[in-house]
Amino acid sequence: MAAKLLLIEDNPNNSYLMRYLLEKAGYTVLEASCGARGMDLALLHKPDAVLLDIQLPEMDGYEVLSAFRRNAELADIPVIAVTSYAMTGDREKIMSSGADGYIEKPIDPETFVSSVSSHLRCPPEEGGTT
């Protein structure tokens, strides 16, 4: 079954490009434009991973990430930060906040999907009772 990914991104151009590339590669994509909506969708749909913009209105990406990590139902979902911050130390700050990966904007259509898939965990095996 195709992995289900949740995008939390407030910039429609970025969402559009990410959705386009991921759907073309066979992923199912859910979208939220703010952290609160992203939490609701994640609780409802249990995505295989979250792609999280850091610069978001209201709750920023760090707050969203920490809210995921504090929620027992969401704590294990891999979160990949997607951010245009290019300042030294941001990668470390994001990773030490509990992200599982980091992708820099602007999105590179040549490498984006493989970067995402490299951060996905294998799904649990089903069956196998023989």
Q: Which of residues 13-72 bind Mn ion (CB under 5 A)?
A: 53, 55
Task: Report d(CA 85, CA 119) in Å as an integer.
Answer: 20
Q: Which of residues 62-101 bind Mn ion (CB under 5 A)?
A: none
79: part of which helix (H) or strand (E)? strand 79-83
Give the length of the chain: 130
Minimum distance of Mn ion from residue 5's CB (angstroms): 17
Which member of 4, 10, 34, 115 binds Mn ion (CB under 5 A)?
10
Choose between 63 and 73: whose C-beta lies nearer to Mn ion: 63
Query: Of the candidates 30, 81, 20, 12, which has an alpha carbon nearest to the alpha carbon of residue 51?
Result: 81
Minimum distance of Mn ion from residue 12's CB (angstroms): 10
Task: Report d(CA 10, CA 46) in Å as an integer.
Answer: 20
The site for Mn ion (CB under 5 A) is made up of 10, 53, 55
